[in-house]
């Protein structure tokens, strides 16, 4: 039996306009205790493209603050699950985070974005039709079907929902 893996608390504030939901952090992220902590994961580079601001070179805590300053929050659909390794296909017995309860605390929320197919499939069921949602290609290095540029083009759909730094 695989060990139970637990995700991180949400990174949001009252100004969160975009909530990006992954599935469950992978091994490298759990070890680093950081969202998207695997250096091969394209998430932070994708966010640089979406927000037109640097993130990759920043220390982790500053990355989170930079996202929040643009109205972008993070969490995961799955609170905990059994999973050997990092692949979403290996997730067993997932327990969901209470997405609806979190969303109720976000008065400025305009859209939920799912990072990858597993997050979209599970999260879409939890949210139903009450919240506008966008399914995005996974930022994971395991999702190699698209090039970085193809992923970046899809992720740029978030830009109109985010806030410029000067608006805060």
Active site residues: 41
Q: What is the pLDDT of residue 164?
A: 65
Worst-scoring range by mean pLDDT, 2-6, 13-17, 32-36, 70-74?
2-6
Tokens of 111: 């859209």
Q: Give this prediction's pTM.
A: 0.93
Half-sphere exposure of 43 (CA within 13 A, CB side): 27
CA distances from 31 to 64, 70, 86, 106, 108 (A): 18, 27, 12, 29, 32
> What b-and-e string marks burial along 96-126, b requiring 16 or more CB atoms within 10 Å of the CB?
ebebeebbeebeebbbbbbbbebbbebbbee
pLDDT of residue 1: 60
Q: What residue spans define the domains of the chain?
A: 10-167
| Homologous superfamily of the 10-167 domain (CATH) | Uracil-DNA glycosylase-like domain (3.40.470.10)
């Amino acid at each position: 039996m695989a060990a139970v893996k637990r995700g991180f608390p949400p990174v949001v504030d009252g100004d969160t306009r975009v909530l990006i939901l992954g599935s469950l952090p992978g091994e490298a992220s759990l070890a680093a205790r950081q969202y998207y902590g695997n250096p091969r994961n394209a998430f932070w580079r994708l966010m640089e493209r979406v927000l037109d601001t640097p993130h990759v070179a920043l220390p982790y805590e500053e990355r989170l603050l930079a996202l929040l300053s643009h109205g972008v929050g993070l969490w995961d659909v799955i609170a905990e699950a059994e999973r050997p390794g990092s692949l979403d296909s290996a997730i067993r017995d997932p327990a969901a985070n209470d997405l609806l309860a979190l969303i109720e605390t976000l008065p400025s929320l305009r859209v939920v974005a799912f990072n990858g197919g597993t997050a979209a499939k599970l999260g879409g069921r939890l949210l139903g039709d009450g919240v506008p949602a966008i399914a995005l290609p996974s930022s994971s290095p395991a999702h190699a079907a698209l090039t970085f540029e193809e992923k970046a083009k899809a992720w740029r759909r978030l830009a109109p929902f985010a806030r410029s730094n000067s608006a805060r």
